[in-house]
């Protein structure tokens, strides 16, 4: 308790007023875009693609190629999981009636680190050795898009952290929106493209890793 009887949290909230409510409202809007656009596209994009891919004939894949492709898919899903879950935690806190910049800031920082780790792991993935050249190219295109998408998500949270720290300048907000649009564009290619490549290699549609 402070000298005037206020708790540390109450004092902190007093210091932020009156600017923080405006910053917080803007930040909630940014969070809705992050969670509602980028994350939704990451998971629903594959479902939309599924109806198209499953209706086409797929070539029988060798056991070795199928195994390689399955490992790539599993490693991608595992790498992306930490970033996606960190994103969900930020979204939940921002949308919570009890959420504050103080409670959300460390979660946003965690998301930066989680998405950076995901990006590094995805960068290390390579197309299956046993795949024909055309299929290798499909894998590479999808993996490159995934790398850029998750690097973009990391950049979004880096920008969001600045907003939570009080930087609500128009230039900062515009930078957040630009990063989100970039990540969204790559995510549209990432998951559906990788699923399609894996299906061609294995002969079956890949299922999400249990989370």
Is residue 17 in some structural domain? no
Domain that holds residue 183: 22-202
Is residue 44 in some structural domain? yes
Give me the CATH number covering residue 165.
Answer: 1.20.1420
Domain total for the chain? 1
The pLDDT, as a whole number, for residue 56 is 39
3-state SS string over 150-177?
A: HHHHHHHHHHHHHHHCCCCCHHHHHHHH
pLDDT over threshold 50, residue 58: no
pLDDT-derived band at 5 (thresholds 50, 70, 90) equals low
Is residue 210 in some structural domain? no
Is residue 158 in some structural domain? yes
Q: What is the mean pLDDT of residues 90-112?
A: 91
pLDDT-derived band at 95 (thresholds 50, 70, 90) equals confident
CA distance 155 to 169: 17
The pLDDT, as a whole number, for residue 96 is 86
Is residue 194 in some structural domain? yes
Is residue 176 in some structural domain? yes
Q: Model confidence over 111-131: pLDDT tens digits?
A: 999 999 999 999 999 999 889
């Amino acid at each position: 308790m402070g000298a005037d009887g206020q708790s540390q949290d109450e004092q902190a909230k007093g210091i932020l007023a009156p600017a923080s409510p405006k910053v917080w409202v803007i930040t909630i809007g940014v969070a809705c875009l992050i969670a509602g656009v980028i994350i939704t596209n990451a998971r629903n994009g594959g479902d939309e693609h599924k109806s198209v891919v499953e209706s086409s004939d797929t070539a029988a894949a060798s056991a070795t190629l199928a195994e390689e492709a399955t490992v790539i898919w599993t490693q991608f899903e595992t790498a992306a999981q930490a970033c996606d879950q960190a994103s969900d935690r930020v979204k939940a806190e921002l949308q919570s009636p009890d959420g504050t910049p103080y409670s959300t800031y460390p979660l946003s920082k965690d998301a930066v680190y989680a998405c950076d780790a995901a990006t590094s792991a995805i960068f290390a993935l390579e197309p299956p050795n046993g795949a024909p050249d055309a299929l290798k190219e499909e894998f590479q295109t999808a993996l490159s898009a995934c790398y850029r998408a998750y690097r973009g998500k990391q950049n979004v949270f880096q920008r969001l952290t600045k907003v939570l720290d009080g930087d609500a300048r128009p230039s900062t907000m515009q930078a957040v929106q630009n990063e989100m649009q970039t990540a969204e564009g790559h995510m549209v290619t990432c998951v559906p493209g990788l699923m399609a490549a894996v299906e061609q290699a294995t002969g079956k549609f890949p299922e999400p890793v249990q989370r």
